[in-house]
Amino acid sequence: MLERVRASNVDEILVVLGAHEVSSSERVVRCPDWELGPGASLKCGLEALGPDVEAAVVVLVDGPELAPEAVDRVVAAWRERHEPIVAASYGGVRGHPVVLARSIWPLVPDDGARSLGAVLVPCDDLGFPGDVDVADDLPRWLKSRRSET
């Protein structure tokens, strides 16, 4: 996932950890309240960002085939439209990445930002990022890479 985000035009990457430890060369924030829900982890990450940050791009680790172009596309749409929440969509369904303007950060509930409305930006042409819930859900290319390490 980090490789995909690094290939985009984001300025800073912040990794929020909860239940599992992961090594990363990126800045890491540990969220002690992760059990409260995805919004709790999201809030930990948002609170760790500096006062000069206008918006945050949110991606989930369970989408290993995220196209870096999807990140750039939603950021460009956010800059162009000035909407508080802009999200990628695949087949008309809201997905990731999501851009959250600073003005919306205090409104993020513990169950995450999904309940907050978003302007959708079609990313169907870039391919669905995936949804890995268990190891069997990993794409074949990632399974073979994982077995090499």
pLDDT (0 to 100) of residue 138: 44
Any idea of the CA torsion for 33, 36, 37, 39, to the nearest 10 degrees?
-60
Q: In 10 A of CB 96, how many CB atoms?
A: 20
pLDDT (0 to 100) of residue 111: 81
pLDDT tens profile 39-69: 889 999 999 999 999 999 999 888 888 999 9
Q: In 10 A of CB 22, how many CB atoms?
A: 10
- Supply the pTM of this predicted model: 0.85
Per-chain mean pLDDT for the chain:
86
Structural domains in the chain, sorted by start: 2-148 (3.90.550.10)
**What's the average model confidence in pLDDT over 71-91?**
97
Residues 6 or more apart from 139 whose CB is under 8 A from it?
64, 65, 130
